[in-house]
Amino acid sequence: QVQLVESGGGSVQAGGSLRLSCAASTYTYGICAGWFRQAPGKEREGVAVIDDHGRNIVYADSVKGRLTISQDKAKNTLYLQMNSLKPEDTAVYYCAARSSYCAANNWSRAVLFDYWGQGTQVTVSS
């Protein structure tokens, strides 16, 4: 069983930055890992994913150029650097991992992910 624990959320003004971290209980936390977010009244949506080797990365169109996913395998940690934040980025952010490859046509399907963190709140004010 893989445990994921997020940290780094908070409140910032529009244009600001935050860095989210996700600590995993094991080095092999998944072939594909990533970040999702869920705003009040909305469905959970995929933000970005990265494969085990860090060679394949996919971003949602809404965050391209502003958010960057990365990982440090030596620390069993996944990151999400968030720059130029907008009020519409306000949501609870979850890290997730799966034991299957994230293909281009299914990377953002939350039901395919095996492990989830508890979530961390990000609030961006205008």
Give the mean model confidence (pLDDT) for residues 69-76.
93
* pLDDT for position 60: 97
Average pLDDT, the chain: 94
Burial class (CB in 10 A: 0-12, 13-18, 19+), 78: buried
Give the mean model confidence (pLDDT) for residues 21-33.
85
Local confidence band at 54 (pLDDT 50, 70, 90 cut-offs): confident
Local confidence band at 43 (pLDDT 50, 70, 90 cut-offs): very high
Evaluated on CA atoms 117, 120, 122, 123, the torsion sign reads positive
CA distance 40 to 19: 21
CA distance 6 to 50: 16
Tokens 């989830």 correspond to 116
Report which DSSP code applies to 31.
S
